[in-house]
Amino acid sequence: MTSDGRGDGEGGPERPISDAELASRRAQLDQSLARVKAQREQAEKPAVATFGTNYSKAFRLASEFTGCVLVGALLGWGVDSLAGTSPIGLIVLLLLGFAAGVMAMIRSSRMPD
């Protein structure tokens, strides 16, 4: 290696490196490092955040569905006890709660996080 930091592998004549050339090399290196750093941060970011958001989204979908079915069943049971129509209100409102749960899941899954 020569005194200016270059290797003398080619065996050609040595020329001194100007300050402007060093500054441009440094600027190029800074840009390259910034690009690599941004790419690494972008690659690592979804891996960390994906688990939490997917887990919370699945929990939200399951709770919405379960809540709709339970509300339908409770309303059906209440209608049956007030009106005296034993299983009819429970069955009808349970099915409506199931349909409402499916609709809520579809609507929530289409929403952006």
Rounded Cα–Cα distance for residues 61 and 49 (Å): 18
The tokens of 64 are what? 């919405």
Q: What is the pLDDT of residues 23-77, one digit of tens each?
A: 999 999 999 999 999 988 887 765 555 566 788 888 999 999 999 999 999 999 9
Average pLDDT along the chain: 83
The verdict on pTM exceeding 0.75 is no
The tokens of 86 are what? 């034993």
- Torsions phi, psi of 48, nearest 5? -80, -45
- C-alpha dist (Å) from residue 53 to 50, 56, 58, 60: 5, 5, 9, 10
**Per-residue model confidence (pLDDT) at position 84:** 87
Q: Does pLDDT of 19 surpass 70? A: yes
Beta strand segments in 1-113, E: none
